[in-house]
């Protein structure tokens, strides 16, 4: 099992999640089960999927969870945008969260590329059947 706490993408995603939780505390109470919950779940899904993938045995499985993390990050980025449009985030808070999501995207992309390269070098070779 990989030590996820040493993975930079996980650290950045964890920081983003904490920031999202802190900044959504002021959302209206009626959004508790709406936008607040959706944004928090999307953000927390990113580091959680990195952790789950890092616990998998195969690189292919790891890569699968990194792709899920990336999709959750895109979802969180949209919810930040929506919260700003609805006036729940000050423009500076939205800009800060957007900047954090971009940093996580870049780092996660690098991790995904590295795992994909490793997966392609460790995959067993597949022979084509010989056709008579």
* Residues 97 and 19 sit within 8 Å (Cβ to Cβ): yes
Asked whether residue 72 is domain-assigned, the answer is yes
Is residue 131, in this structure, part of any structural domain at all?
A: no
From 108, 82, 111, select the one nearest 94 (Cα to Cα): 82
pLDDT of residue 119: 87
Q: For 89-129, what is each residue's pLDDT tens digit? A: 999 999 999 999 999 999 999 999 999 998 888 655 444 34
User: Among 95, 96, 86, which residue's Cα sits nearest to residue 38?
Assistant: 86
Residue 74, domain CATH? 1.20.1440.60
**Tens digit of pLDDT for each residue in 69-95?**
999 999 999 999 999 999 999 999 999
Is residue 29 domain-resident?
yes
Q: Measured between alpha carbons, how far is 69 from 110 in angstroms, rounded to an integer?
A: 13
Residue 132, pLDDT score? 47
């Amino acid at each position: 099992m990989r030590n996820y706490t040493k993975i930079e993408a996980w650290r950045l995603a964890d920081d983003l999640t904490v920031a999202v939780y802190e900044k959504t505390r002021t959302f209206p109470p009626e959004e508790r089960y709406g936008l607040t919950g959706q944004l928090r779940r999307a953000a927390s899904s990113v580091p959680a999927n990195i952790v789950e993938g890092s616990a998998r045995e195969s690189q292919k499985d790891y890569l699968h969870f990194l792709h899920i993390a990336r999709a959750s990050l895109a979802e969180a980025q949209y919810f930040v945008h929506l919260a700003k449009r609805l006036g729940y985030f000050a423009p500076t808070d939205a800009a800060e969260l957007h900047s954090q999501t971009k940093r996580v995207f870049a780092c996660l992309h690098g991790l995904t590329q590295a795992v994909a390269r490793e997966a392609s070098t460790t995959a067993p070779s597949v022979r084509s059947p010989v056709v008579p």
